[in-house]
Structure 1
Amino acid sequence: MTTSGVKKIALISEHASPLATLGGTDAGGQNVYVAQVARHLANLGHAVDVFTRRDAPHLPEVLEWVPGVRVVHVPAGPAAVIPKEDLLPLMPEFTRYMAAFMAREGRYDLLHANFWMSGLVAADLKRLLGVPFVITFHALGKVRRLHQGEADGFPDDRFAIEERLVREADRIIAECPQDEADLRELYGADPARIVTVPCGFDPAEFSPQGRREARERLGLDPAELTVLQLGRMVPRKGVDDAIRGFARAVRSLGQPARLLVVGGNSPDPDPALTPELGRLRAIAQEEGVEDRVTFTGSRDRSVLRDYYSAADVFISTPWYEPFGITPLEAMACGTPVLGARVGGIQHTVADGETGFLVPPRDPDALGERLADLLADAALRERMGAAALARVRTHFTWEGVARQLAQVYREVGEETAAQPALPPAGDAVGSTIDSAVDRAFQNLITTLAHSRAALGPQIEAAAAAITACFERGGKVLVCGNGGSAADAQHFAAELVGRFRLDGRRGLPVLALTADTAMLTAWSNDVGFGDVFARQVEAFGTEGDLLLAISTSGRSPNVVAALQAARRRGLTTLALLGGRGGDALALADLPLLVPSSDTPRIQEVHILALHLICELVEEQISEGLPTHLPPPVRLNPPGAAPLISAPQTNGNRKGVNV
């Protein structure tokens, strides 16, 4: 790692080159993202290399693209265009080339993978060379399969690879709240390692141009109402719905208008070159608007500003969309957007303010809203102005790059704090041993840091639990996933025995064990308070709640802690990362100094075993049965306070 922070970045984008012409089957928002992020990171002082597959024989190995950015064309497979669905077998070759390139050119501070196959390359390079990586998925396989079904051409291997990447990435860049929710709900991603950073636009590239002037430059009728649909020509983009909705709006209005459909595999709108165009033209004919729909083919990025500015309304109605850059670009040109209520579009388009949102695959709703917009010039002007103000405030590529640079710095600081690991070897095909060694070393490092940070708190936790038992109280325990298993494990050790034979059973109740209650309440009411409900039912003043969460951000765990404090229970929490919202709610928080979920869980298990051992020792010594009420180490509303235990000269005499 460079002494001044993260400076040398490798952006990996196996199929989406920043040099590609947009609008084709495999060229769209990811190409723009990679190009703009690279440019703006370079403007911030980073040295950026973009690694993308060489898909034409004339491309040089290394191209000095713009100041501070090189494009490296990786010779993985034939120098020809290959559908991205068929690229997975080429990724080991891609990885070997990058490893050799890095050995020759010098180590990168950080890898930023774009898409899941690039993520596989980054994860293998991390195992091989120890370079940290972050990933922007751009699209998730499980979401794609949900919407496309058998039309999804990617292999099922994608799901397991994405799950691995979610576990191993140092940070996951979600592009919008829906993307973050999908990562958490479908992949079990650790919220502590997800950072939401949107896409953007460049004000130097997109700004209002004057509608009449833009139309004149494009050869359009200055007086004709014009609607624009721009993007990749693939079924999931919902261009067919745009055509059907446009037809309904035209019939409703009773006046002519034009729909421009921009995109395709070539500037020539030929169905032989772009197969989807044949289907779309047939739909336009079926709807009776074939003379009102103009298919332009692909257009150079330099003229897209005129298309956005020429339009009265921009339509973007995909079935699903991880983010969607074209609505931002249209808004940046002062054009209101009629978008599908999916993914990032529902985040960027303010419904009723900068445009309208409609359900996906609903031409009737689309047509109704489009007719409203086309009939009201004042409404369009008002929404266009609001759209321009919104994107300039929240969605510029400069702002995106600054947010990413901050993520890189945080990852760099975490990496720098870890001890150097032994070399992992020089062959990508033999990373298993190095991965095992690296995992053990990471655990050893986490344990060493945790020993210093948690030793006194583990003793204090055991003393608080012992005091609870000796005054006749009980302990409630909760957590999700692996933490749910840990909760039940902890309860079993104390209700039964850990090491000490012959002691009395101790009252510990795992709130994760009653499956009837959990499933009934979750189904009928919601999962957010399944633990809080049980705390209200079973918890009384003087009891103790032990909450387990690797991130401290699980809503049901946070709700349980809140309920426990309201009822006068002492609250303990085993946490990780930054502690999340649970940190301030725990009278005694035990925070593992790591953001790596598996390592946090492993330290949690050790801490629970140590607490069990200490509790048994203290119970066996016959502590007084009449103890004062528990001391609340962190009163409600106060900042978290971690208090080391008071001792009487030996560990067994711990008091709180």
Structure 2
Amino acid sequence: MRIDLITKEYPPFIYGGAGVHVAELVRVLRKQIDVKVHCFGEDRNETDTFAYRHSAEFEAVNGALQTMATDLSMVSAIAGADLVHSHTWYANFAGQVAGTLHGIPHLITAHSLEPLRPWKEQQLGGGYRLSSWVERTAYEGATGIIAVSDGMRQDILRAYPQLDPQKVAVVHNGIDLDAFQAADNPDLVRANGVNPDQRSVVFVGRITMQKGLPYLLKAARELPADVQLVICAGAPDTPQILQEVTDLVAELRKVRDNVIWVEKHLSRAELIAMLSAATVFACPSIYEPLGIVNLEAMACGTPVVATATGGIPEVVAHNETGLLVPIEQLMDGSGKPLDEGKFVADFAAALNEMLDHPKIAEFGAAGRRRVEQHFSWDSIAAETIGVYEKAINGKHIG
């Protein structure tokens, strides 16, 4: 079995959860089957891994067109594969064209959905309309779709109601259990401006509307005075959301002197050190198909307070590995809370409850057990190969 996997992100150039997913999945799949990777950007020094860039004539055009041009440059090389597997809309166009040209199944892993990120139209204009067209066309034409959570599967079927539910399967994201485990590294924590000897609430994520960082910054006004708020956040989607976060941090620092904003991209060692030192990990997302970062925190033995949305409730077990904060959301695709004040207050209350919970250590230990039992990459790779076999043999995958 030869699988050709298409992705925008691939090591060493990873900036989001989809890239982490692809890197870990390929690592484990290659122990069992033949996998060729087609990715964007700089050449990689890895066997059976090929990188592509758009040609010079596309340098000054819309970014979505550059993506499509890069996709087309991959298609010929996929000849001979038994199945092509694409990740995110950036790769879906290449997957659909390759599948059609070469007469092979095209499988998509859905990490997010363009209809559920409508704010991107303000950012990208026609580029968002193109990305939405690419995604919809690929989903409609694909042999099958893997959702990274049951919540994501439901979102796919709502966003694209014409799809046959039998071609949408669920295979969760995973976690590298050897790499992600509690590590006491106080010097590395201090090097990032955090006092490892004091309590902390830690956030890790990109500065984008879906990650909900502004809600956390508002909720943090209610944290105990001794608790550090540590924001490991960069890669803003737009200047506007960066300005909003900057203003909220400035306002919070007027009443708290222990707000630490780490803007750089953390190395894996730094991330593990920060998660291990955290008292509570905060995930205020308003859109999250699964949330790998919650798995990473739980693997490090840190309890999680997270929004009860998307696939998060399939990761964080309420009152066992953390606390889930309820949210009523607008149904316009934005996911914004219907009552922002209530959501912020509820999130603050959950953080404070967890910070002072008499059994907080048990929550952390339960989180580690949960990821070991349900989210190992070995089990997820086995499930994925099972989906490949069904797709290649013309069977329903869902």
Coarse TM-score class (shorter-chain normalised): 0.7 to 0.9
Amino acid in the other structure paired with 1:42: R
DSSP 3-state at the match of 1:113: strand
- Aligned equivalents of 2:49, 2:290: Cα separation in 1: 25
Contact in 2 for aligned 1:10/1:49 (Cα 8 Å): yes
Instruction: Tell me the residue number matched to 1:280.
Output: 245
The correspondence of residues 147-546 of structure 1 with structure 2, limited to 5 A, is 150=122, 153=125, 154-188=127-161, 189-210=163-184, 215=189, 220-250=194-224, 255-265=225-235, 276-287=241-252, 288-289=254-255, 291-297=257-263, 298-358=265-325, 359=327, 362-376=343-357, 378-414=358-394
The yes-or-no answer on 1:40 pairing with 2:28 is yes
Amino acid in the other structure paired with 1:317: P
Report the CA distance between 1:71 and its aligned residue: 3.0
Amino acid in the other structure paired with 2:171: V
**Deviation digits for residues 408-440 of structure 1, max 9, x if unmatched?**
11222239xxxxxxxxxxxxxxxxxxxxxxxxx
> Stretches of 4+ moved more than 6 A in 1?
79-83, 211-214
Cα 1:135–1:259, aligned 2, differ >3 Å: closer, same or farther?
A: same
Instruction: Tell me the residue number matched to 1:451.
Output: none
Cα 1:246–1:156, aligned 2, differ >3 Å: closer, same or farther?
A: same
The correspondence of residues 8-87 of structure 1 with structure 2, limited to 5 A, is 8-14=2-8, 16-21=9-14, 27-43=15-31, 45-54=32-41, 59-60=42-43, 63-65=44-46, 70-77=48-55, 86-87=62-63
Q: Which structure is larger by alpha-carbon Rg, 1 or 2? A: 1
**Deviation digits for residues 628-653 of structure 1, max 9, x if unmatched?**
xxxxxxxxxxxxxxxxxxxxxxxxxx
TM-score, structure 1 length as denominator?
0.54
Contact in 2 for aligned 1:214/1:310 (Cα 8 Å): no
Report the CA distance between 1:401 and its aligned residue: 1.2
Report the CA distance between 1:386 and its aligned residue: 1.2
Instruction: Tell me the residue number matched to 1:98.
Output: 74
Contact in 2 for aligned 1:231/1:263 (Cα 8 Å): yes
Aligned residues: 379
- Aligned equivalents of 1:274, 1:302: Cα separation in 2: 29
Cα 1:80–1:311, aligned 2, differ >3 Å: closer, same or farther?
A: farther
Q: Structure 1 vs Structure 2: percent identity of aligned residues?
A: 27
**Deviation digits for residues 103-127 of structure 1, max 9, x if unmatched?**
5xxx112111011231121111111
CA RMSD of aligned residues (A): 2.9
Report the CA distance between 1:178 and its aligned residue: 1.4
Report the CA distance between 1:225 and its aligned residue: 0.8
- Aligned equivalents of 1:80, 1:258: Cα separation in 2: 46
Contact in 1 for aligned 2:194/2:260 (Cα 8 Å): no
Contact in 2 for aligned 1:331/1:387 (Cα 8 Å): yes
Cα 1:99–1:210, aligned 2, differ >3 Å: closer, same or farther?
A: closer
Report the CA distance between 1:325 and its aligned residue: 0.6
Contact in 2 for aligned 1:18/1:34 (Cα 8 Å): no
- Aligned equivalents of 1:46, 1:80: Cα separation in 2: 36
Structure with the greater relative contact order (CA < 8 A, sep ≥ 6): 1 or 2? 2
**Deviation digits for residues 248-267 of structure 1, max 9, x if unmatched?**
123xxxx31111111324xx
Cα 1:77–1:290, aligned 2, differ >3 Å: closer, same or farther?
A: farther
DSSP 3-state at the match of 1:30: helix
Contact in 2 for aligned 1:91/1:121 (Cα 8 Å): no
- Structure 2 segments unaligned to the other structure (5+ residues): 328-336
Amino acid in the other structure paired with 1:296: V
- Aligned equivalents of 1:302, 1:89: Cα separation in 2: 36
Instruction: Tell me the residue number matched to 2:334.
Output: none
Report the CA distance between 1:211 and its aligned residue: 7.9
Report the CA distance between 1:166 and its aligned residue: 2.5
Contact in 2 for aligned 1:64/1:70 (Cα 8 Å): no
Instruction: Tell me the residue number matched to 1:427.
Output: none
Contact in 2 for aligned 1:12/1:113 (Cα 8 Å): yes
- Aligned equivalents of 1:303, 1:79: Cα separation in 2: 40
Report the CA distance between 1:367 and its aligned residue: 0.7
Cα 1:368–1:73, aligned 2, differ >3 Å: closer, same or farther?
A: same
